[in-house]
Structure 1
């Protein structure tokens, strides 16, 4: 019987890997080398702070003394003993339900107008996109507050029309609508995405539908909207996430207080107050993780519902 141990090649005698495998390994090393700044940044600036925030959410931490472990006390207090938490959640929900559909509706309407070839259309597109670059800045929020304050531009314009409503930012029943209007004014980013989606709608479909007698409204509802549903889904998810994180406008318009009468107390603003005004950083960390969980659940529900209303090119009927 032949001893297989003698016939089996040793590790030292194993044939070298083929040149293609060596090149693949070298390519992977180079790829990781170029990715190393991003990996280090993700670990130090994202994963590390998130882990620290998760730990702090189970502690009582005031930024000055060492964190003291309290378990689920922050979450229990938030749900059962903090009325302003529920008020901020309700205000934020109203803000999201009002601002997201209005913003997407304006973006789609303007995209339809700018989708036609006409002279100077590039200038119009740039002009409508500009507010998205400026809308989140403190300077624009200050101008917005001045416009909607008592005696401001909006107040004077409405008074000239016989509507003496006073300054919106000074009245609890109207203050939130100033933030909704500010969010809707920043429709440039979703508009550009809608424009890209409209360019992908085959012109032949509209021409065939027009020959069959379909009017503009019918072609819009039967052709344009179904073809745009993947883009609508993309914009919807992004804008819902952005709306839940809205902070700058609410902070500047209400001078950081969420007033009047907490009518503009959005959830991120209340989180800021608890963390950097009351110095309850552990409680603020718990609020941040609750917000993350809520946004994740809502995003998952949107993606789950997309099976019923999002259609992709080449996909057969469901």
Structure 2
């Protein structure tokens, strides 16, 4: 009996040592990511939260001022709500358009009988051109005087459009440019469409369903998980947009493209109000979390999964 108890104790100790070795090995292999996360993401986030309660020009020592930055944001900053409105307008126009165009292109490619790899590459390759490069290309294409877009409009008898210098047009021009990257979500939709079983469409054919009914009653419901993913990623990315406005319009004309992130950047690196810029960044972070939370909460009503009978 005593021998059996001793054997069990040894087995338990051996099991603990093995588990400790496995845990240590796991921590060792994820340590590069963990160190990077702590130093490059979590650490700066905590630092910026602390700085948001101070007045700091990045040279001297931060001066604690409590909630003054947040109070100034909502009461005294003449550009704060303007930049917020511009950003929300951009997000709630661009994201739905991106979803719709990406799905339509993916559906067309999915129905192609030949050359699908070629056309998929053609639609995806433009999305590889991003950032400053994309902005510089469209600064030439949409130029008021010698841009090829205005030249083609004149060829068909239409007047020139001041794409980037008209306050009523500039924001929509940036939305059009942002849709240049529709190829990335399109690839995800195309993959989702190819995973839809043909049995659903065969059953619909037997019931006499037409293409439109099959699209809305079969195709869309079965790719809603991919739609949810793309909405969330596009939403987060759109709220942080800055490069196009920074390079093409500088926030103009008449502040019509003055995005929230551009306002944060200018307060931080032009006016050297790092504390105030940090406070603004945290407010935007909270807004993004709330909006993504609302989208996720609403997903139980419209996102369907094939493995649980079509419902969530």
State the TM bucket, normalised to the shorter chain: over 0.9
Matching residue of 1:140: 134
1:262 to 252, 255, 259: 255
> Aligned partners of 1:43, 1:300: CA distance in 2, in Å?
24
> Aligned partners of 2:88, 2:220: CA distance in 1, in Å?
26
- The 5-angstrom pairing of residues 157-306 of structure 1 reads 157-254=152-249, 257-306=250-299
Q: Comparing 175-184 with 24-33, which one deviates more in the overlay?
A: 24-33
Tell me by how many angstroms 1:18 deviates. Answer: 5.5
Instruction: Provide the aligned C-alpha RMSD in A.
Output: 2.0
Tell me by how many angstroms 1:123 deviates. Answer: 2.1
Unpaired segments ≥5 residues, structure 1: 1-6
> Aligned partners of 1:63, 1:118: CA distance in 2, in Å?
60
Matching residue of 1:124: 119
Whether the 8 Å CA contact 2:144–2:160 is kept in 1: the answer is no
Tell me by how many angstroms 1:56 deviates. Answer: 0.8
Tell me by how many angstroms 1:117 deviates. Answer: 5.3
> Aligned partners of 2:27, 2:44: CA distance in 1, in Å?
23
> Aligned partners of 1:171, 1:301: CA distance in 2, in Å?
35
Unpaired segments ≥5 residues, structure 2: none
> Aligned partners of 2:269, 2:104: CA distance in 1, in Å?
40
- Equivalent residue of 1:15, what SS? helix
- Equivalent residue of 1:17, what SS? helix
Once the two structures are superposed, what CA deviation does each residue of 1:200-244 show, in whole Å capped at 9, x if it has no partner? 211111011112211111100110011111111111111011100
> Aligned partners of 1:209, 1:291: CA distance in 2, in Å?
45
Indicate whether 1:82 and 2:70 are aligned.
no
Normalising by structure 1, report the TM-score.
Answer: 0.91
Tell me by how many angstroms 1:67 deviates. Answer: 0.8
- Equivalent residue of 1:169, what SS? coil
1:113 to 97, 108, 128: 108
> Aligned partners of 2:157, 2:68: CA distance in 1, in Å?
53
Whether the 8 Å CA contact 1:237–1:299 is kept in 2: the answer is yes
Tell me by how many angstroms 1:40 deviates. Answer: 0.9
> Aligned partners of 2:126, 2:83: CA distance in 1, in Å?
27
> Aligned partners of 1:85, 1:44: CA distance in 2, in Å?
30
Whether the 8 Å CA contact 1:258–1:269 is kept in 2: the answer is yes
Tell me by how many angstroms 1:157 deviates. Answer: 2.1
Whether the 8 Å CA contact 1:58–1:70 is kept in 2: the answer is yes
Whether the 8 Å CA contact 1:103–1:185 is kept in 2: the answer is no
Once the two structures are superposed, what CA deviation does each residue of 1:159-188 show, in whole Å capped at 9, x if it has no partner? 333332432101100000111011111111
Normalising by structure 2, report the TM-score.
Answer: 0.93
Whether the 8 Å CA contact 2:163–2:169 is kept in 1: the answer is yes
Number of residue pairs matched by the alignment: 306
